[in-house]
Amino acid sequence: MFCTKCGAKNEGKVLNCTQCGAVLKVSTATADNTLGGLIPYKNSAALIAYYLAVFSLIPCVGLFLGIAAVILGIKGLKFYEKNPQAGGKVHAWIGIILGGLISVIYAIVIIILIFANITGGR
């Protein structure tokens, strides 16, 4: 690697120029120690699917949020397959599984309530 400031040749793993001390590249240790590896900010569909699935546990809006979580989870998985460096595979799966499960539960509850109203509560 050559220094852009003085042109001196440097080893590939050094962070500063051995001749003039200029910064050659950003340390990967600094970037990897943040939450960037845990939060897939580059795969927004998977991240939003995860949060929608968690918030689908809220009564009255759970069915709609669960359905949205499943749709965005699938989009997030497709994005992950094309761009694995973006991450978000686990977030997408959580969105699909939890969102789908909650949607099915709320749909069953709604069907039971409708059936109970039609039959007069017997």
Cα separation, 114 vs 32, whole angstroms: 52
What confidence score (pLDDT) does residue 6 get?
86
Do 48 and 75 belong together in one domain? yes
Do 8 and 42 belong together in one domain? no
Q: Up-side HSE of residue 110: CA atoms within 13 Å toward CB?
A: 12
What confidence score (pLDDT) does residue 39 get?
82
Do 9 and 60 belong together in one domain? no
> 């709320």: which residue's tokens?
106
Do 28 and 43 belong together in one domain? no
Tally the domains of the chain.
Answer: 2
Q: What is the pLDDT along the chain (122 residues), one digit of tens a residue?
A: 778 888 888 887 778 888 888 887 654 444 445 565 678 889 999 999 999 999 999 988 999 999 999 999 999 999 999 998 889 999 999 999 999 999 999 999 999 999 999 887 56
Angle at 54 between CA 95 and CA 43, to 5 degrees: 45
Do 17 and 43 belong together in one domain? no
The conformation of residue 23, written as its DSSP 8-state character, comes to B
Do 83 and 61 belong together in one domain? yes
Do 91 and 107 belong together in one domain? yes
* Best CA proximity match to 73, nearest among 85, 59, 54, 60: 54
Domain containing 3 equals: 1-33
Cα separation, 100 vs 83, whole angstroms: 24
Residues in a beta bridge with 2: 9
Do 47 and 19 belong together in one domain? no
Contact between 43 and 91 under an 8 Å Cβ cutoff? The reply is yes
Do 45 and 63 belong together in one domain? yes
What confidence score (pLDDT) does residue 68 get?
97
Do 24 and 48 belong together in one domain? no
What confidence score (pLDDT) does residue 32 get?
47
Do 59 and 112 belong together in one domain? yes
Do 4 and 28 belong together in one domain? yes
Compute the chain's Rg from CA coordinates: 24
Cα separation, 28 vs 4, whole angstroms: 19
Residue 64 vs residues 53, 68, 88: alpha-carbon distances, Å:
10, 6, 22
